[in-house]
């Protein structure tokens, strides 16, 4: 009985992903944005090309998020819902959303303030912050690996297990790419009160750090975007074939 109930819950949660459109749309967006980020990270600082790529990336991110949501909904209304129906999920009231979001915003704001104060007060804190930034893309990749594992368990979708595995393997690769930077970070780079001009050696290391972090994040987006698109396209093909076979002759 418990297994049957679990399967029913998985099918209900998997309905939203059955047509593969989620992975197709999000995969295209992630890969394109990652490509822009990678080009920007490899452009020479202070050049018109880098400024143009930075502006283009910012615009693409802002417009792309809303456009992806609109496009996904439009494609489902035109293609998925007429074939397999529409399932309406209960929406949270505005007050309930605020109740959930406000504590998170307060905690994040306090953490940012405490982090800023500690960076100004302690050279060790500045070293720790910049060392953590080096591993930020790796941490994001690990986080999404866990998210996909949870989604796979809730929906029973094999492709989400595959995305989890790809994200975790990518995390190992990005961590390996970040190792050379760690050997260049030292307390000597961050001596001072944090208000004076940055020494040239520190500036060079920080520039290399930001370039590596940016390119690692871009590579993760490209890898996951391509993987999501391919798995979504395969799911889309299977979905259309199953719908076609299920139609009465």
Compute the CA torsion angle 24, 27, 32, 37 (nearest 10 deg).
Answer: 170
**pLDDT higher than threshold 50 for residue 6:** yes
* CA dihedral (72, 74, 75, 76) positive or negative: positive
Q: What is the pLDDT of residues 114-129, one digit of tens each?
A: 767 766 666 667 777 7
**pLDDT higher than threshold 60 for residue 2:** no
Q: How far is 156 from 180, CA to CA, in rounded Å? A: 39
**pLDDT higher than threshold 80 for residue 27:** yes
Q: At what angle do helices 21-42 and 48-75 cross, to 10 degrees?
A: 180
**pLDDT higher than threshold 90 for residue 224:** yes
Q: Which two tokens stand for residue 51?
A: 């400024």
CB-based contact 40:214 (threshold 8 Å): yes
Q: Would you list the domain boundaries of the chain?
A: 2-95+123-246
**How far are the Cα atoms of 34, 120, 231, 233 from residue 26, in angstroms, in the given order?**
12, 39, 12, 12
Please identify which residue in the block is written with the tokens 């590579």: 219
Q: What is the Cα gyration radius of the chain?
A: 22
Q: What is the pLDDT of residues 135-190, one digit of tens each?
A: 899 999 999 999 999 999 888 889 999 999 999 999 999 999 988 888 777 766 66
pLDDT at position 226: 97
How many C-beta neighbours within 10 Å does residue 95 have? Answer: 8
**pLDDT higher than threshold 50 for residue 74:** yes
Q: Which two tokens stand for residue 107?
A: 């905690």
**How far are the Cα atoms of 85, 116, 138, 142, 226 from residue 170, in angstroms, in the given order?**
37, 30, 8, 9, 13
């Amino acid at each position: 009985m418990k297994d049957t109930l679990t399967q029913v819950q998985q099918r209900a949660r998997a309905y939203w992903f059955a047509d593969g459109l989620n992975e197709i749309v999000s995969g295209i967006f992630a890969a394109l944005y990652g490509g822009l980020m990678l080009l920007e990270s490899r452009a020479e600082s202070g050049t018109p090309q880098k400024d143009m790529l930075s502006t283009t990336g910012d615009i693409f991110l802002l417009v792309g998020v809303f456009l992806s949501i609109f496009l996904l909904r439009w494609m489902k209304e035109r293609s998925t819902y007429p074939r397999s129906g529409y399932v309406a999920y209960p929406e949270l009231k505005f007050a309930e959303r605020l109740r959930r979001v406000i504590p998170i915003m307060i905690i994040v704001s306090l953490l940012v303030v405490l982090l800023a104060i500690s960076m100004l007060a302690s050279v060790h804190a500045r070293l720790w912050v910049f060392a953590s930034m080096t591993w930020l893309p790796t941490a994001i990749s690990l986080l999404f690996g866990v998210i996909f594992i949870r989604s796979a368990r809730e929906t029973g979708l094999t492709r989400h297990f595959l995305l989890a595995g790809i994200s975790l393997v990518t995390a190992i690769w990005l961590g390996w790419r970040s190792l050379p930077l760690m050997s260049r970070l030292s307390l000597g780079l961050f001596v001072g009160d944090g208000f004076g001009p940055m020494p040239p050696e520190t500036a060079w290391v920080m520039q290399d750090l930001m370039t590596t972090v940016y390119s690692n994040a871009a590579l993760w987006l490209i890898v996951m975007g391509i993987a999501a698109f391919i798995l979504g396209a395969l799911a889309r093909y299977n979905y259309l074939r199953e719908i076609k076979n299920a139609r009465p002759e």
